[in-house]
């Protein structure tokens, strides 16, 4: 005898009950949250508050005479706050849509919703990177001195042309340069702070130029940033002056010849108020206090949502330059 309760449950065209799809959505979110994050996540650190502290100052060791007491270092704490934003995308499910489509269509749409969240997180982090490198405007802290050099709070790591990059140290230089020469010159701006250059993020065009400069006959690989997950870059990744190249489709059009060199560490801070979830039409998370605990219609009007913020905490941990005179 048929179960009358199951008979009344809303089902897809192929008779899959909505409760099964709810469970699938919950598992999809769990898998996404546990999966390695995208390439740019290698340069982020999650903080527990929208306000974080950084400490700057001089802790350089000094020679002491016999019986002389060590001098106290000088450290100051600087505070920076950043905002969070909400990001959403509706599944757009109606009762008619559910009744008229097989379950694989709904599952595929849930998968695409999660892929969209991943793309949005990458986009937000990349925008923070593009807009967060020191550009000569006043920094929110004064950089600490290093190797006998001191720096003002308007120190600049952004160069709009080849000439501007190569003349940053005061020497006149209007020559054309290879991509490799650009990288080595840009690296100086990180090393004079004691930072170690790690990755160059480039467009497909710059990646092709870099490969064409190689004459050793070896097969080099420049991975795609969007497809990389957390972890070390492949061993055969093309490398120059200690910097591994990664290419991205997000550098295109007027930004095609822009290059971003990043140091090791986590210069971008993130804060998640609401990690990626599927939210029901009451605003509750499915799988939390929402529909997966009894309301079979929770998917009607459900939408994907997340709420987080990101900030470039260390604007001097990267260098941005534009190649406009390529040898």
Give the start-to-end residue ranges of the domains of the chain: 14-51+80-326
Taking the C-alpha atoms of residue 282 and residue 304, their distance in angstroms, rounded to an integer, is 13
86-121 b/e (C-beta count within 10 Å ≥ 16 → b): ebeeebebeeebbeebebeebbeebeebbeebeebb
**Conformational region of residue 190, where left means phi above 0, alpha means psi within -120 to 50, and beta covers everything else:** alpha
pLDDT at 305: 94
Which among 143, 268, 148, 144 is positioned nearest to 199, based on CA atoms?
Answer: 268
Task: Please name the residue that has the structure tokens 């008979």.
Answer: 7
Which among 71, 193, 199 is positioned nearest to 141, based on CA atoms?
Answer: 193
Q: Cβ neighbours of residue 136 under 8 Å, at least 6 residues apart? A: 154, 155, 156, 158
Residues of the chain below pLDDT 70: 1-8, 51-60, 62, 65, 67-80, 229-232, 288-296
Given a contact cutoff of 8 angstroms between Cβ atoms, the answer to whether 197 and 190 are in contact is: yes
Given a contact cutoff of 8 angstroms between Cβ atoms, the answer to whether 65 and 298 are in contact is: no
pLDDT at 70: 66
CA 262 distance to own-chain centroid: 12
80 forms bridges with which residues in the sheet? Answer: 52
Which among 298, 225, 272 is positioned nearest to 32, based on CA atoms?
Answer: 272
Pairing of strands 268-279, 44-46: parallel
**Conformational region of residue 315, where left means phi above 0, alpha means psi within -120 to 50, and beta covers everything else:** alpha
Which among 45, 23, 83, 105 is positioned nearest to 269, based on CA atoms?
Answer: 45
Question: Considering the entire predicted model, what is its pTM?
Answer: 0.83
pLDDT at 19: 81
Phi–psi pair at 206, nearest 5 degrees: -65, -35
pLDDT at 77: 61
Tens of pLDDT along 235-292?
Answer: 788 999 999 999 999 999 999 999 999 998 888 989 999 999 988 888 888 875 544 5
Decide: helix, strand or coil at residue 305: strand
pLDDT at 5: 47
pLDDT at 62: 65
pLDDT at 69: 64
**Which token pair is 193?**
């702070």
Decide: helix, strand or coil at residue 250: coil
Residue 175 CB neighbour total at 10 angstroms: 11
Decide: helix, strand or coil at residue 26: helix
pLDDT at 204: 96
Taking the C-alpha atoms of residue 266 and residue 134, their distance in angstroms, rounded to an integer, is 16
CATH number of the domain at 14-51+80-326, please? 3.90.1690
Residue 248 Cα distances to 132, 194, 270, 320, angstroms: 18, 27, 21, 15
Taking the C-alpha atoms of residue 130 and residue 235, their distance in angstroms, rounded to an integer, is 27
């Amino acid at each position: 005898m048929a179960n009358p309760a199951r008979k009344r449950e809303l089902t897809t065209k192929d008779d899959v009950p909505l409760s099964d799809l709810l469970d699938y959505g919950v598992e999809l979110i769990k898998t996404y949250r546990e999966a390695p994050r995208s390439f740019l996540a290698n340069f982020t650190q999650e903080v527990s508050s929208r306000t974080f502290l950084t400490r700057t100052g001089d802790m350089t060791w000094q020679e002491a005479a016999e019986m002389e007491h060590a001098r106290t270092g000088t450290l100051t704490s600087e505070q920076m706050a950043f905002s969070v934003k909400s990001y959403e995308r509706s599944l757009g499910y109606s009762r008619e849509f559910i009744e008229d489509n097989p379950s694989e269509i709904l599952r595929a749409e849930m998968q695409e919703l999660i892929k969209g969240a991943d793309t949005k997180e990458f986009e937000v982090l990349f925008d923070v990177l593009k807009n967060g490198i020191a550009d000569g405007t006043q920094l929110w802290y004064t950089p600490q001195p290093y190797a006998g050099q001191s720096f003002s709070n308007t120190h600049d790591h952004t160069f709009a042309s080849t000439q501007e990059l190569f003349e940053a140290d005061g020497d006149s230089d209007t020559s054309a340069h290879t991509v490799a020469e650009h990288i080595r010159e840009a690296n100086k701006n990180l090393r004079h702070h004691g930072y170690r250059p790690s990755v160059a993020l480039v467009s497909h065009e710059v990646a092709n130029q870099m490969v064409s400069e190689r004459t050793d006959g070896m097969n080099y690989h420049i991975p795609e940033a969007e497809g990389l997950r957390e972890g070390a870059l492949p061993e055969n990744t093309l490398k120059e002056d200690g910097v591994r190249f990664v290419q991205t489709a997000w550098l295109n059009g007027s930004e095609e010849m822009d290059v971003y060199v990043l140091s090791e560490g986590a210069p971008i801070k993130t804060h998640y108020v609401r990690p990626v979830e599927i939210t029901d039409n009451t605003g509750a998370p499915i799988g939390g206090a929402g529909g997966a605990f009894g309301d079979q219609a929770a998917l009607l009007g459900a939408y994907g949502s997340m709420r987080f913020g990101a900030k470039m905490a260390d604007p001097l941990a990267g260098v941005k330059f534009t190649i406009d005179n390529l040898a």
